[in-house]
């Protein structure tokens, strides 16, 4: 009953989430990205706009008003207050573009923190949520694209979602999944050294989507690699299309499988199932029959990405 009431309250609030916020931002520090982790206490690493560049560490010398500030506290609210004290301004989170959950939430439930972010700090229900074992590294990377480090990871999530290879999960999705007693599948980032030019780091350190992870009963649980993530997205109905790479006559090809349907949508995890789809190349053209058969086999392999 509590879950149903929570869902009803959140959905009702969502109807009015587009209303204008009359808050005067002149004396506020606007958090653009927020990385939250827990290890006995909350640690919040925030990228924020703060006119004059006061407090914190400069993220980009050409953008002196974009700073990184870290706050800690026994509660999430206390950690945010710590950021406010360090920066010298009240915190504004209604424009926060990305929330990153750290590996500490595999041991500690995150729902209390999410409730604080929404009800007390007025984060948008449309705020995307992702995870990383070390959440703070996403706020340390100085991406060369975008105004802040929030924009590049967000564009990576959105692009991967459009390709059908990664979820895009919002705060509202997590609340709705919690009310329905089902896990949320959230995108997962990992550190990599294949990003020379993407960041200002001389060693090429950057972030890359490396699959997804379940948020179940408030805790980060099982993680999935890229192929397993695609399988989960297809089987759960979170996407009905995906881009596939395959070889045809020794030539690498790419196509989009769309309008994907399973033979028995009420039992998509059964041992015996069949799948149908339409296929088109990147320019929208129809695939030849012999090439379509190869693409269908690749789609079946993608669906089988998780063993049940």
Assess contact for 192 and 208: CB atoms under 8 A.
yes
Q: Is the pLDDT of residue 2 over 60?
A: no
Segment 41-46 mean pLDDT: 96
Q: Cα(first)–Cα(last) distance of the chain, in Å?
A: 31
Regarding beta strands 251-262 and 275-281, do their DSSP bridges make them parallel or antiparallel, or are they unpaired? antiparallel
Residue with tokens 């039992």: 267
Quick one: tokens of 159? 């692009």
SS3 (DSSP) at 8: helix
SS3 (DSSP) at 30: strand
Distance, CA of 174 to chain centre: 11
DSSP state for residue 75 in the 8-state scheme: S
DSSP state for residue 96 in the 8-state scheme: -
DSSP state for residue 37 in the 8-state scheme: E
Residue partners of 145: CB distance under 8 A and separation at least 6: 151, 152, 155, 198
What is the percent of the chain with per-residue pLDDT over 70, rounded to a whole number?
A: 76
Q: Is the pLDDT of residue 218 over 70?
A: yes
Q: Is 124 left (phi over 0), alpha (psi -120 to 50) or beta?
A: beta
Q: Is the pLDDT of residue 60 over 50?
A: no
d(CA 163, CA 169): 15
Quick one: tokens of 222? 């099982």
Beta bridge partners of 97: none
SS3 (DSSP) at 28: strand
Quick one: tokens of 192? 């990599």
d(CA 299, CA 279): 10
Quick one: tokens of 280? 């088109």
Q: What tens digit of pLDDT does each residue of 128-158 get?
A: 999 999 999 988 886 666 555 678 889 999 9
Tell me the whole-structure pTM to 2 decimals: 0.83
Assess contact for 112 and 36: CB atoms under 8 A.
no
How many CB atoms are located within 10 Å of the residue 258 CB? 15
Assess contact for 299 and 286: CB atoms under 8 A.
no
Handedness of CA 147, 213, 303, 277 (dihedral sign): negative
Q: What tens digit of pLDDT does each residue of 253-293 get?
A: 999 999 999 876 555 555 667 889 999 998 999 999 999 99
């Amino acid at each position: 009953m509590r879950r149903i009431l929570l869902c009803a309250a959140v959905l009702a609030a969502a109807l009015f989430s587009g209303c204008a916020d009359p808050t005067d931002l002149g004396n506020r520090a606007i958090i653009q990205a927020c990385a939250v982790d827990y290890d006995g206490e909350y640690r919040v690493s925030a990228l924020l706009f703060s006119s004059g560049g006061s407090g914190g560490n400069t993220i980009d010398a050409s953008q002196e008003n974009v700073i990184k500030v870290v706050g800690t506290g026994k509660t999430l609210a206390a950690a945010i207050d710590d950021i406010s004290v360090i920066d010298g301004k009240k915190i504004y989170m209604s424009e926060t573009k990305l929330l990153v959950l750290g590996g500490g939430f595999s041991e500690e439930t995150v729902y209390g923190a999410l409730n604080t972010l929404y009800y007390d700090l007025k984060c948008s229900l449309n705020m995307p949520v992702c995870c990383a074992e070390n959440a703070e590294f996403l706020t340390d990377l100085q991406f060369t694209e975008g105004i802040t480090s929030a924009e590049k990871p967000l564009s990576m999530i959105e692009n991967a979602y459009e390709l059908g290879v990664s979820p895009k999960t919002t705060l509202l999705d997590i609340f709705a999944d919690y009310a329905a007693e089902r896990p949320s599948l959230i995108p997962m980032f990992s550190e990599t050294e294949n990003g020379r030019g993407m960041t200002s780091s001389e060693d090429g350190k950057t972030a890359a989507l490396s699959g997804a992870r379940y948020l179940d009963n408030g805790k980060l649980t099982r993680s999935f690699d890229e192929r397993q993530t695609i399988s989960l997205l297809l089987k759960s109905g979170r996407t009905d299309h995906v881009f596939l790479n395959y070889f045809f006559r020794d030539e690498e090809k790419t196509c989009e499988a769309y309008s994907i349907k399973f033979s028995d949508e009420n039992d998509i995890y059964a041992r015996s199932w069949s799948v149908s789809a339409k296929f088109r190349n990147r320019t929208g053209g129809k695939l030849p029959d012999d090439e379509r058969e190869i693409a269908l086999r690749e789609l079946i392999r993608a669906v089988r990405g998780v063993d049940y």
